[in-house]
Amino acid sequence: MSISLSSPLGAIKGVGEATEKKFRRLGVCTVWDLLTFFPVRLEDRRAEKKIADLRDGETVCVTANVFTPVEGRPTRNGQTVYHATLRDESGFLPVVFFNNRFIKNMLIKGRDYTFYGKVSASSGRLELTNPEFEPAGRELFNKSVVPVYHSTAGLSQRVIRRAALAALELAGDALPETLPPSLRREYNLCSLAFAIREIHFPRDMENAEIARRRLVFEEFFILQTALRGRKLMNRVASPHVFADLDFSPFTGLLPYALTGAQRRVLGEIAEDLGSGRPMSRLVQGDVGCGKTVIAAAAMYLAVKNGCQAAMMAPTEILAAQHCEGLAPLFARLGIPCRLITGSLTKKRKAEISEALLSGEIKVLFGTHAIIQEGVRFRNLALAVTDEQHRFGVRQRGTLSAKGEEPHVLAMTATPIPRSLALVMYGDMDVSSVDELPPGRQRIDTFCVDEGMRERINAFIAREAAKGRQAYVVCSAIEDGPSADVKAAVSRAEALRSALPGISVGLLHGRMKNAEKDAVMADFAAGKISVLVSTTVIEVGVNVPNATMMIIENAERFGLSQLHQLRGRVGRGGHKSYCVLFAGNLSEATLERMKIMVQSGDGLKIAEKDLELRGPGEFFGSRQHGLPELKIASLATDMDVLKESGAAAARILKDDPYLEKEENFYLKGRIEEFFKDKKDFMA
Ligand code: ADP
Ligand code: MG
């Protein structure tokens, strides 16, 4: 029978319909899927011993004869234990199986088998418990290095292993080589056929490592070639080549001098804007480093050069704050701005859209409302997304589609470890604002438990008496969609009774927008001293008089999120504090909280977070745009990531559209990549 890589699994001998269905649950449908269903780890079963040499606690292979037939004995709790005695030339060994009535038919007295299992001492005697066994001389898995797969109910490791083995026998030789030969030579990479075989059934651990390196390299390489390729293709000519790149009339109006980092990044942006190619730049910098004003200066340049600019923020609060903060500055330069959010009436939105289309409005701030269909610009030349990690690639793309190849500026205060930035933003240039404005003080951070509740309340009261303000952030304590709201509501009640005479406000995502705005405005104006909220205030909000950030159930937050929340304070001249209430202090939680207490460096915290939680959880479920990796790890394969990045750059430099013969298969894989990752690539 002929079988190809795209044949369904059923084409493999021994894979019936029921098994095929279980595989499908794991996303494995074709022979190729199975061959690239990589084991999560390997088990080395090569160690063999004679019975007389066995030691308590070791897991080994023993080849032995079944000396006494399998016998079942009932236990006190109604189960049956099956016993037999094994023998080799060195001695005897009891073997025990729990609740496997088929054993009687599988282990035949007088025959030789190879057993793999754990040796343990039971009332002073060594025995083998629940070993895996195969007929001696015909071992498939025992005495070798064996793959262990991620599995699903009812699909045993043995069934997966047998299917993988069969797939390799049938189709292993049909595997085409995807990497160009020159690349394989340069980076010393084994062939795909070798890699696929040895990743499942390696001859030894060295081969497994050689195979893994090739596959990790390939995965990163394809990802980065795809991203860089897209970046190259995006390098069309820009219809917006700005001639006037002097932003000093705008920055001169600021009540402070720009930091060196801000000036450097603005310079990079100005260069992009005049370069003749559309800008695609990510500005990353810790909370409070002053990214907003950088974007505003770029927007000023767009307007100065006769165009429009838009800035999209993930929440209404933040969008409103941008508009309120910047509109007065723009007004002094005669630049009309407007704010658009979901809560405006249809009529108001239509008015704004009309004024945009006529060119009357030059700068638009807003939420997702900006990218709605009805909103049209006359000539949008700069599209800014603030807190861009909160948006999907698709949403950023929709904003860009509002103009003709507009310049794109994205900002994020979630510092992204370099390993992630490379993969996630391979198609963007990255600028880092690595300096805080002068005079910022360290935010003293404490991790406390319930026992400190009263003292912390007293502390809030003292600070409030000095005119300072506090945030109290609640996360969900129970599960359920509005659990965090409940938590915030009851925390606000508790604080109101604990702090008589101090005004306590409440803010959560279930409130109407007008209510939220009113509460936020009161807090900004100092009419509210303590603001209890859900994480709606996580990003961007700026109230310099707030000096305390109290976080309830801090153990439930990611480190980067905690850092982000902490960044809401310490924004004015006053000494600021962050208090993390954490219960259930497991060792891991303790370590995470310790990092928060010790470090104020967002990048360091992000790297630690990535290391501790892995890239999937690093951003939480909100994260879009993180590609799923089959074998490579963003936490541990940094070296290979770098190598493959350099390789991708070189290949594209040599053959930007991958038209050369030797890049034929690579091009196919990249097209597949774009097909599979529609969400990721927009
Ligand atoms: P983020 O980078 O987190 O978005 P913001 O842009 O909100 O930070 O800036 C935080 C605060 O720092 C704002 O109050 C802003 O006015 C102020 N700020 C920005 N740049 C400077 C500077 N160079 N000197 C002093 N204060 C600054
Ligand atoms: Mg910001």
Task: Indicate if the pLDDT at residue 668 is higher than 90.
Answer: no
Q: Where are the domains of the chain?
A: 47-143, 248-275+289-412, 444-599
Confidence of residue 217 (pLDDT cuts 50, 70, 90): very high
What would the pLDDT profile of 509-563 be if each residue is shown by its tens digit? 888 878 888 898 899 899 999 999 988 775 657 788 999 999 999 988 888 889 9
CA-CA distance, 134 to 534, in Å (whole number)?
A: 58
Distance from chain centroid for Cα 102? 45
3-state secondary structure of 103: helix
Nearest to 284 by CA among 140, 131, 420: 420
Confidence of residue 630 (pLDDT cuts 50, 70, 90): confident
Q: Which pLDDT score, from 0 to 100, does residue 300 have?
A: 98
Q: Which pLDDT score, from 0 to 100, does residue 419 have?
A: 67
Q: Which pLDDT score, from 0 to 100, does residue 617 have?
A: 61
Residue list, ligand 1 pocket, CB within 6 Å: 256, 258-259, 262, 285, 287-293, 413, 437, 540, 542, 544, 571
Q: Which pLDDT score, from 0 to 100, does residue 682 have?
A: 39
Topology at the third CATH level for domain 444-599? Rossmann fold (3.40.50)
- Which residue has the CA at smallest separation from atom 26 of ligand 1? 437
Which atom number of ligand 1 is nearest to the Cα of residue 287? 3
pLDDT above 90: percentage of residues in the chain: 57
Pick the most confident of 18-22, 97-101, 295-299, 442-446.
295-299
From 283, 289, 322, give the residue whose CB has the most ligand 1 atoms within 8 Å, as the site to mutate.
Answer: 289
From 251, 254, 256, 603, give the residue whose CB has the most ligand 1 atoms within 8 Å, as the site to mutate.
Answer: 256
Q: Can you tell me the mean pLDDT for 652-664? A: 89
DSSP line for 444-499: EEEEE-GGGHHHHHHHHHHHHHTT-EEEEE---SSSSTTHHHHHHHHHHHHHHHHS
| Distance from residue 289's CA to the centre of ligand 1 (Å) | 6
Q: Can you tell me the mean pLDDT for 432-444? A: 86
Predicted structure pTM score: 0.66
Average pLDDT along the chain: 88
Q: How far is CA 114 from CA 47, 59, 62, 65, in A?
A: 12, 13, 6, 9
Which burial class, exposed, middle or buried, applies to 239 when counting CB atoms under 10 A from its CB (0-12, 13-18, 19+)? middle
Cα dihedral 257, 258, 259, 262 in deg (nearest 10): 180
The Cβ-side half-sphere exposure at 470, using a 13 Å CA radius, reads 28
Task: Indicate if the pLDDT at residue 60 is higher than 70.
Answer: yes
From 542, 545, 560, 569, give the residue whose CB has the most ligand 1 atoms within 8 Å, as the site to mutate.
Answer: 542
What would the pLDDT profile of 155-201 be if each residue is shown by its tens digit? 999 999 999 999 999 887 778 898 999 999 999 999 999 999 999 99
| Distance from residue 248's CA to the centre of ligand 2 (Å) | 21
Contact 466, 544 (CB under 8 A): no
Segment among 486-495, 533-542, 590-599 with least mean pLDDT: 533-542
Task: Indicate if the pLDDT at residue 621 is higher than 60.
Answer: no
| Distance from residue 275's CA to the centre of ligand 1 (Å) | 28
Starting from the CA of residue 543, give the closest ligand: 1
- Which residue has the CA at smallest separation from atom 25 of ligand 1? 437
From 284, 293, 315, 324, give the residue whose CB has the most ligand 1 atoms within 8 Å, as the site to mutate.
Answer: 293
The CATH number fitting domain 248-275+289-412, selected from 3.40.640.10, 1.20.120.1200, 3.40.50.300, 1.10.630.10: 3.40.50.300
Exposure letters 333-356 (e unless 16+ CB within 10 A, then b): eebebbbbbeebeeeebeebbebb
Segment among 33-42, 238-247, 275-284, 665-674 with least mean pLDDT: 665-674
Starting from the CA of residue 284, give the closest ligand: 1
Give me the CATH code for the 47-143 domain, please.
2.40.50.140
Which atom number of ligand 1 is nearest to the Cα of residue 285? 2
DSSP line for 233-286: HH-PPPS---S----HHHHTTSSSPPPHHHHHHHHHHHHHHTSSS--EEEEEE-
Q: How far is CA 623 from CA 123, 356, 387, 424, 461, in A?
A: 54, 31, 12, 11, 37
Which atom number of ligand 1 is nearest to the Cα of residue 571? 11
| Distance from residue 258's CA to the centre of ligand 1 (Å) | 9
Task: Indicate if the pLDDT at residue 624 is higher than 60.
Answer: no
Q: Can you tell me the mean pLDDT for 101-105? A: 87
Q: Can you tell me the mean pLDDT for 564-590? A: 87
Q: Can you tell me the mean pLDDT for 99-104? A: 83
Q: Which pLDDT score, from 0 to 100, does residue 417 have?
A: 72
Which atom number of ligand 1 is nearest to the Cα of residue 433? 2
- Which residue has the CA at smallest separation from atom 18 of ligand 1? 290
Task: Indicate if the pLDDT at residue 657 is higher than 90.
Answer: no
| Distance from residue 562's CA to the centre of ligand 1 (Å) | 19
CA-CA distance, 190 to 610, in Å (whole number)?
A: 30
Starting from the CA of residue 564, give the closest ligand: 1
Nearest to 277 by CA among 233, 226, 224, 228: 233
Q: Which pLDDT score, from 0 to 100, does residue 679 have?
A: 46
Token digits of residue 42? 């390997």
CA-CA distance, 471 to 578, in Å (whole number)?
A: 9
Confidence of residue 440 (pLDDT cuts 50, 70, 90): confident
| Distance from residue 328's CA to the centre of ligand 1 (Å) | 16
- Identical fold, 248-275+289-412 and 444-599: yes
Task: Indicate if the pLDDT at residue 44 is higher than 80.
Answer: yes
Q: Can you tell me the mean pLDDT for 295-301? A: 98
